Amino acid sequence: MTIKTVKDAINDALVQSFEEDKNVILMGEDIAGGKGREQYQGTQDAWGGPFGVTQGLYTKFGGERVRDTTIAEAGFFGAAIGAAMTGLRPIVELMYVDFAGVCFDQMMNQAAKVRYMFGGKQKVPMVVRTVVGAGFRAGSEHSQTLYSLYTHIPGLKVVAPYDAYDAKGLLLSSIKDDDPVIFMEHKRLYMTSCEVPDDLKPIPLGKGRIRREGSDVTIIAIQRMNLFAEEAANELEKININCEIVDPRTYSPLDEELIFHSVKKTGKVIIVDESNPKCSLASEISSLISEKCFSDLKAGVIKITAPHTPVPFSPPMEDFYIPSTKKIIDAVKKLKDV
């Protein structure tokens, strides 16, 4: 048992996958860094992506399998699709999910659809690793989550781990998966850590996790929101309110059974999602609950999300934008009295 950060756990999963399967390759912008300065010592593998997550892979596995690209997402995403169809297992890095727009066609119309529309003869085993999330003072174009953008598309799978344990286990699974997977890494979670067994087995996609058992209120928390849910639950425990925290972990497929089971138990639900509210994971999960568990509900589902605005830059505004522990506590108290 070792304590690992999310960042290191992801790097471990990549290294392990590279070692297990020679068909695994990695492409992205500055996933190594230093291309074109090979003649100078110490320039290679200088970045490992903007957060250093892939550092060391270029040195370990070489430039044939660890490919720095030009700033041409449509080009290398398309290439990942062709490479996946013909036998490789490419992982591509979308530096920030906010750049989804410049290569969305490749994911929405090609990666997601070739299996279906060409008669089920081919598969596209590729993974898009991308960085999401606010709280980095990174402004409107480097801070979104956009979970629901990809979840909406049939043919794609969407994974968003909270802790290092899930990050490693789910990435191992995603790379072995035969369908295209969007693997979302939250920039504010990279340096958080927990125990991760060295021999951790892949965690199947579509299995959520109960992070805390409780009987009074169900809090469904998406990715980083688990942190605030946990803080809120600790506070509320002091006044004898027991919260159950459900972390779905994967959004397509979604572990509906786990969610419904908890809703049946508590009858009171709060969904916490860092995304904008319209057509979000929060609204999707809320709609599923009202459809399937209406008679179990003791109160209307409460959604705690960001407002319907872009992510603002200035700290007071950005902090206001992100759902908070206080908002969760207030919502739970409100439900408790129902």
Partner 1 sequence: MIEKEKVYWIYKKIFTIRFFEERIKKIAKEKIVPGYLHTCIGSEAICVGVMAALNQDDWISSTYRNHGHAIAKGCELNEITSEIYGRKTGICKGRGGSMHISDFSKGMLGSFGIVAAGPAVVLGAALQEKINKSNKTCVSFFGDGAIHNGAFHEAAGLAKLWDIPMIFVCENNGYAEATATDWHLNTKELSDITKAYDMLSYIGDGNNVFEVYDITKKAISEAKQKNTPIFLEFKNYRFSGQYEGDTQLYQPQEEIDKAKQNDPIKLAKENSSKYGLNENDLEKIINEAKADVDKAFDHADTQPWPQPEDALEEVYVNYPVEINT
Q: How far apart are CB 1 and partner 1 at their closest, in Å?
A: 29
Q: Is 205 in the site for partner 1 (CB under 8 A)?
A: yes
Q: Is 66 in the site for partner 1 (CB under 8 A)?
A: no
Q: How far apart are CB 176 and partner 1 at their closest, in Å?
A: 11
Cα separation of 320 and 304, whole Å? 12
Taking every pair of C-alpha atoms in the chain, what is the biggest distance, in angstroms? 69
Q: Is 20 in the site for partner 1 (CB under 8 A)?
A: no
| 178 vs 195, beta carbon nearer partner 1 | 178
Q: Return the structure tokens found at 153.
A: 């598309």
Q: Is 273 in the site for partner 1 (CB under 8 A)?
A: no
Binding string, residues 111-150; x marks residues near partner 1 by CB under 8 A: ---xxxxxxxxxx---------------------------
SS3 131: strand
SS3 128: strand
**Binding window for partner 1 (CB under 8 A); candidates: 9-17, 101-109, 188-196, 279-287:** 101-109
Q: Is 179 in the site for partner 1 (CB under 8 A)?
A: yes
Q: How many residues bind partner 1 (CB under 8 A)?
A: 52
Cα separation of 32 and 63, whole Å? 9
Amino acid, single-letter form, for residue 21: D
142 is catalytic: yes
Q: Is 338 in the site for partner 1 (CB under 8 A)?
A: no
The angle formed by the CA atoms of residues 286, 164 and 83, to the nearest 5 degrees, is: 85
Residue 46 Ramachandran class (φ > 0 left, ψ -120 to 50 alpha, else beta): alpha
Cα separation of 145 and 147, whole Å? 5
Sort 232 into a burial class: Cβ within 10 Å, 0-12 / 13-18 / 19+. buried
**Binding window for partner 1 (CB under 8 A); candidates: 103-111, 193-201, 211-219, 295-303:** 103-111
Helix axes 6-20, 164-176, angle to 10 degrees: 30
Position among 231, 256, 296, 330 found at the interface with partner 1 (CB under 8 A): 256
Report the residue count for the chain: 338
Position among 14, 80, 184, 232 found at the interface with partner 1 (CB under 8 A): 80
Catalytic residues, which ones?
142
* Residues engaged in binding partner 1 (CB under 8 A): 25, 64-65, 67, 69-70, 72-88, 90, 102, 105-106, 109-110, 114-123, 154-155, 157, 177-179, 204-206, 253-256
